[in-house]
Amino acid sequence: MSSLNLVPASVEDFRRRAAKRLPRTLFDYIDGGAGAEVTLHDNVRDFQKLRLSQRVMRDISDTRTDIDLLGEKLAMPVILAPVGMGGIMAHRAEVQAKRVADKFGIPFTLSTVAICPVDEVAAVSDTPFWFQLYMLRDRGVVLEMLQRAWDHGVRTLVFTVDLGVMGTRYRDIRNGMAGGASLWGKIRGGPVEYATHPHWLWNVALRGGPLKFGNIAKYAPSARSLPDFKTWVDSQFDPSVDWNDIAWLREQWKGKLVIKGVLDPQDALDARRVGADAIVVSNHGGRQLDGVASGATMLPQIADKIQGDVPLIVDGGVRSGQDVVKALALGAKAVMIGRPWIYALAAQGQAGLERMLALFKADMHTALGLSGYPLARDVDRGALLDHGKNLS
């Protein structure tokens, strides 16, 4: 017998509510992955497969979730990941997310292709946030964006390296986002779909503007719609980028440099060699190359290779505070969550995201206490049954 579902208790609950609130095209954009979505589902399943080791009769009267990362103190080892087009899923979503991140003492990462620009997010508070960037063909634009981020208090740059080629996303193709839809298809997927989602239509489409990629608007002055901006962004992705370009970036950026999109131990070593201050073990949330391994699978291999020289962050498939503890046990210093924070905002706005992060923290306290690790910073592979060897 199903419950009344009066109050969301998990990320999946927020996901279901977001699916009802958002036009189908938009929900599928954030919810979907590449190809048949094998990797997308493996990201979640591989964390689910891990078993924590329950330990009892230890002093757990003061469990603590705080950690130190890149010179910052985080109230829990969770970072809001960069999510493109966030502000079209909820009213000025990036601004709301920054407010909540500040309240919970964790970093928020603003995407290059966010709806809200860096200055609008910076105006929320004096608390620094992180900024995510791609290597664009026009290096002058890259330098300008770096300077603008620095001028608005950003000191940690998250540089995404796994987008040299765009992944093939079946849901976006089926929904007409990649073009090819008939006239009726465009009407059905646009005005008709929007009209059947009045909450989104009123709060986002009509009252959430301007709906454009705020950080790149000045570089695409002829763009009049989100598809126009997307065309410009796609034309700027540079498939020739290699580690020499990252070394150049390291010379330009004065703050902390986090390399996001590493899934191979040798790539992790290369990222360390060119000066990365941290590495995000990631397959882009299963949105790029379907069939690759999950972050949970590759994290311990990369951790063994890096040997603690560079902090590791993992994203993809983290859906609870228990998953956070499992990630720490596998060798991560922290996790990034993307879809969960968008689901929560789309479902219930700022209050929804506050509730979701509170659930994460409560889950962490439970998992830390019952696995015998009062301090999050002390979690190691001993927190996993058979040290995680059941992940295969």
Residues forming the active site: 284
Instruction: Report which secondary-structure segment, H or E, holds 314.
Output: strand 312-315
Of 339, 345, 353, the C-alpha closest to 30 is: 339
Amino acid identity of residue 146, one-letter, is L
> 67-69 and 72-74: which strand pairing?
antiparallel
Nearest CA to 27 out of 285, 347, 282, 318 is that of: 347
Q: Any idea which residue has 């890096």 for tokens? A: 306
**Phi, psi (5° rounding) for residue 358?**
-65, -40
Yes or no: say if 374 and 368 are a contact pair by the CB < 8 Å rule.
yes
**Token duo for residue 75:** 């109230």
Decide: 172 and 178 in contact? Cβ < 8 Å: yes
Q: Which amino acid is at 125?
A: S
Amino acid identity for residue 53 in this structure: S
Alpha helices in the chain (DSSP H): 11-21, 24-31, 38-49, 93-104, 118-122, 139-151, 170-174, 183-187, 193-195, 198-200, 226-236, 243-252, 265-273, 295-306, 321-330, 339-370
C-alpha 134/C-alpha 8 separation (Å) is 35
Beta strands at 256-262 and 156-160: parallel, antiparallel or unpaired: parallel
